[in-house]
Amino acid sequence: MEIGTRLSGEIASYLDLATREIELTEANMASTDLEGDNGNAGNIFNAPTQVAGSAQAISVVMTDPDKIAAAGLGQGTGDGSNATAAANLATQSIINNETPSNYYSNMISTLGALVSQTTTENTALGASVTQLQTQRDALSSVNLDEEASNLEEFQRSYQAASQVFTILNSVMASALNLGVETAVA
């Protein structure tokens, strides 16, 4: 699986699960708000019906802070038992048998490890590309020694061919002048 897919998949799963647990916990805490609305206090968040996509779909639906249900069911508005219960969730294993803090910490660790792994793989692949290029160049790129050798060879051939033409020229001149050697222009 591609790193990018893993990254988005795993983190989305983490967030969806956490979001869903928050919503379920909230829905289970029937209670009383500051206006004395006993048992019918509105939710702070909306409540999608399934885990997948919860993190993306969650939104705050409460508009009046007086409607936060801090009091327990059947208690007066000055009661704080529901707020205390909500605060206690911070130390309870409510998400995947972990506390919210540990769950989030693990998500950060997983995300960081994935990013680190991706960076390492990127570096390794870059090194691999460089190595392969070097190997290819060792076989197919311009070899200065070969080129120098060939150049020397061609130069010598050229010189030899030139010498042949010089000799032929001299022979032809001698033939045309009936054996008298003269300079040929």
Binding site for other proteins (CB under 8 A): 36, 71, 75-81, 84, 87-88, 90, 101-102, 104-106, 108-116, 118-119, 130, 133-134, 137-138, 141-145
List CB contacts of 28: < 8 A, sequence separation 6 or more. none
Residues 82, 3: Cα–Cα separation, whole Å: 42
Minimum CB–partner distance for residue 57 and other proteins (Å): 24
Residues 4, 111: Cα–Cα separation, whole Å: 11
Which lies closer to other proteins via its Cβ, residue 29 or residue 47?
29
Minimum CB–partner distance for residue 183 and other proteins (Å): 34
Rg (CA), the chain: 43
Which lies closer to other proteins via its Cβ, residue 145 or residue 181?
145
Minimum CB–partner distance for residue 59 and other proteins (Å): 23
Residues 67, 176: Cα–Cα separation, whole Å: 124
Which lies closer to other proteins via its Cβ, residue 43 or residue 110?
110
Q: Which two tokens stand for residue 68?
A: 């936060």
Which lies closer to other proteins via its Cβ, residue 15 or residue 57?
15
Which lies closer to other proteins via its Cβ, residue 88 or residue 97?
88
Question: Quick one: which of 80, 63, 81, 66 has its CA closest to 34?
Answer: 66
Minimum CB–partner distance for residue 170 and other proteins (Å): 36
Contact 83, 107 (CB under 8 A): no
* CA quadruple 47, 53, 56, 58: dihedral, nearest 10: 10
Minimum CB–partner distance for residue 119 and other proteins (Å): 6
